[in-house]
Structure 1
Amino acid sequence: METAQIGWIAAIIVGGFAGWFASMFMKSDTGVLLNIVLGIVGAAVANLLLGLVGVGLGGWLGYLIAGFIGACILIAIARAVRR
């Protein structure tokens, strides 16, 4: 069975929301552009990590969840590197 994919415009929108939610959750002061980047890159990172343990997320909600998890991971890594 094929997994549902979203387009690049939807990836930007959903990635922006995922990055925004992650920045609010992690109490990080990031701008709109960085939120979008965090959400999109975070989704790629989280999908890679979740794929290693056999979990696959697809569609809008899966991309949002993966983006949130990945953005939180990236924010935590950035904080650890800065200190």
Structure 2
Amino acid sequence: MSIIVWIVIGGLAGWIANMLMKTDGSLVKNVVTGVVGALVGGFVMSFFGAAGFTGFNLWSFVVALVGSVILIAVINVLTGKRA
């Protein structure tokens, strides 16, 4: 899997997750949130028996988006911020 795929899907997933969770962020924050979210989402999906991040497709975007939302929610709980 190419690093460019991770950056593109991570950037889109991080951007959408930031909009859903009503947080703000720069392009770099969106990409980092999306890439780390893809890792978190892959772990969560494999825990439930589903495939994780599989490449440049819709399923990988959904996995990254779910992981990004989980990541932002956990960070908000730890820092005491509210959406």
How far apart are residue 30 of structure 1 and its match?
1.3
Partner amino acid, structure 1, of 2:44: L
CA distance in 1, matches of 2:59, 2:37: 12
Alignment match, 2:45 = 50
Q: TM-score when scaled to structure 2?
A: 0.87
Unaligned 5+ segments in structure 2 are: none
Matched, 1:20 2:22: no
Alignment of 1:30-45 (within 5 A): 30-45=25-40
CA distance in 1, matches of 2:50, 2:5: 22
Alignment match, 2:78 = 81
How far apart are residue 59 of structure 1 and its match?
2.7
The alignment covers a number of residue pairs equal to 78
Alignment of 1:65-76 (within 5 A): 65-76=62-73
Q: TM-score when scaled to structure 1?
A: 0.87
Give RMSD over aligned pairs. 1.1
Matched, 1:59 2:52: no
Unaligned 5+ segments in structure 1 are: 1-5
